[in-house]
């Protein structure tokens, strides 16, 4: 069962523009994580936001979490060609042991 679902599946923007990716999930969570994956590589953790937090920032990244709507967004400001990658959200919930489920990802292409 897929908990986190990203939207859009793919996004193409010009360098300098902002990129927004969304993640929706179905059940209550303890935290939500965003990861980045360059082509053919492993995932790299970007930000973790807990269920009692609404917004977090890290450099050019801004993550919001709306637990009432069961959704999160990742905003990359002033995008660069080097931001081209796939971005995944992952939800973690405690079901008598923690379980983390990854979505299928958003492919971002930033044109120079």
Partner 1 sequence: DVKVTQSSRYLVKRTGEKVFLECVQDMDHENMFWYRQDPGLGLRLIYFSYDVKMKEKGDIPEGYSVSREKKERFSLILESASTNQTSMYLCASSLNGGETQYFGPGTRLLVL
Nearer to partner 1, 60 or 93 (CB): 93
For residues 72 and 24, give the distance between their C-alpha atoms in angstroms, rounded to a whole number. 6
For residues 66 and 55, give the distance between their C-alpha atoms in angstroms, rounded to a whole number. 9
Nearer to partner 1, 75 or 102 (CB): 102
Nearer to partner 1, 42 or 112 (CB): 42
For residues 1 and 5, give the distance between their C-alpha atoms in angstroms, rounded to a whole number. 11
For residues 32 and 65, give the distance between their C-alpha atoms in angstroms, rounded to a whole number. 8
Smallest gap from residue 88 Cβ to partner 1 (A): 7
- What is the contact surface with partner 1 in residues (CB under 8 A)? 2, 30-31, 33, 35, 40-45, 48, 88, 90, 92-94, 97-105
Smallest gap from residue 1 Cβ to partner 1 (A): 8
Residue with tokens 């971005």: 87
């Amino acid at each position: 069962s897929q908990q986190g679902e990203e939207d859009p599946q793919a996004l193409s923007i010009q360098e300098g523009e902002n990129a927004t990716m969304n993640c929706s999930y179905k059940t209550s969570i303890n935290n939500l994580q965003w990861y980045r994956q360059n082509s053919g590589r492993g995932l790299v953790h970007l930000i973790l936001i807990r269920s009692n937090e609404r917004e977090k920032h890290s450099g050019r990244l801004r993550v919001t979490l709306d637990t009432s709507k069961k959704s999160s967004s990742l905003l990359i400001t002033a995008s660069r060609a080097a931001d081209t990658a796939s971005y995944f959200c992952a939800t973690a919930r405690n079901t008598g042991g923690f379980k983390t489920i990854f979505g299928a990802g958003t492919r971002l292409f930033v044109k120079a």
